[in-house]
Structure 1
Amino acid sequence: MSNAHVPLHPLIIGSSALEIVDGYIYLEHTIQLGRSSFEKEVNRRIQLGWAAFGKLRNIFSSKIPQCLKTKVFEQCVLPVLTYGSETWSLTMGLIRRLRITQRAMLRAMLVVFLRDQIRNEEIRRRTRVTDIAQRVAKLKWKWAGHIARRTDGRWPRTGKRSVGRPPMRWIDGIKRVAGSRWKQAAQDRGFWNSLQKTYVQQWTSIG
């Protein structure tokens, strides 16, 4: 059988032709057809996060206490950056990009620059903002436990291996910590919660 692409014809509804695309936005989340990749969605989250940060820049640059700035950031910017992240196939590259974005925002909040050579640990100490890698990992682990305990027979697709270098699947990071029988492990909430720290650490250790 030939692997040549079959030309796609537009779907006509009334007098309008629907555009053929390989991705679209649905419920504020990027849906991409074909080989799964969350890079576009992460790029979009970063853009939206900066837009949210920009709208609040007057607050972040004001003289109000840092604890209030941190609260605003965690309630208005961090959720925008991490929306839908529980469904992402995490990679070190994606986590690193999110952390770099968060650090740039925190430096802007503190009005410090890279040339000031202030260590990331000191930036976190001053702002006390939740590490974005920690937030994303916790959201995904919680969501994995939730869907494993579902009893309605539905199960989200986690992706199939393709020819060539296999892409990271949604489930791979979960299995590294909880094993191949992770769905059975998730039935014990106490045991599942005890594994969360190990799962989170593998992502928060990324620079």
Structure 2
Amino acid sequence: MKNGKAVGPDDIPVEVWRCLGEKAEDILTKLFNKILESERMPDEWRSSELLPIFKNKGDVQSCSNYRGIKLMSHTMKVWERVVEARLRREVQISEQQFGFMPRTSTTDAIFALRVLVEKHREGQKELHCVFVDLEKVYDRVPREELWYCMRKSGVAEKYVRMVQDMYEDSETVVRCAVGVTNGIKVKVGLHQGSALSPFLIAMVMERLTDEVRQEAPWTMMFADDIVICGESREQVEENLERWRFALERRGMKVSRDKTEYMCVNEREAGGKVKMQGVEVVKVDDFKYLGSTIQSNGQCRKEVKKRVQAGWSGWRQMSGLMCHRRIVARVKGKVYKYSSASCYDVWFGDCGSV
């Protein structure tokens, strides 16, 4: 965990354990061994605080436009890291899952999709992509499905019981500008902000889609972000329906409004993909894992976005640099290093030519 994170109800930041050094290792080792033996964590860890953060889009009075940030005990998060390490040794996740896996990141999934688009552009072949959006996955996962997926993944029963204990009698309060609510029992979904939840989501998605997944890059997942690709509209529509059925029968919900469809080298203008009779929104570009993928194979929008982000950062910095309280020596150093980095990016090793 990084320093400076907001603490949970116990008000004990992770920095406390770092300051104690080897003594903290002894204390935590004894504590975690006790939890392993009894299969029950301290009751103080069952409480949390939920902070609603506005997404800066949509109606400010609509709860759906807020993202809930859950503040939990830092010591519990350290314990979750221990459990996660044990689970990773026992659970095999397929190569279609790029999220929260060792030696993979968003760049791998983005690169694979861009290469797929480029190859079909070069070969003048159609490529149909459906970007599946799941509604509030962390809040919707039924606990019974989680235990089922863990057992199906081959997790030892002892660890299943320990994860069950993490969710037993869990309670949260909502903290907002006008005050704090009474305690609310949480009986469905995963802990938001938990160190273990991302891996649990990957495990759940892995097991629920065993029968419908194709090899990468035709099917790629980054946690709950899913892209389904095919060389015909009928094929991708059929696969989408299979995915929808596999997920929704287990308590998930595919968003009809936010799931989108993109076609590369479209030969039949006006082609549509439907899900349960409802037309999927068709787009010419899609922001996939933060990177804009265009149906024409170009990167102009992505380059423009990055240039704008760079200028925005520079304007913020230049606003600070113009402040009269910033001494000239600091201004000179910032200008020197920013100019040098720009020179390296633009001209590279031109001086050696």
Task: Please report the TM-score for the alignment, with normalisation by the length of structure 2.
Answer: 0.21
Bigger-Rg structure (1/2) = 2
Q: Which has the higher helix share?
A: 1
Task: Please report the TM-score for the alignment, with normalisation by the length of structure 1.
Answer: 0.31
Q: Which has the higher strand share?
A: 2
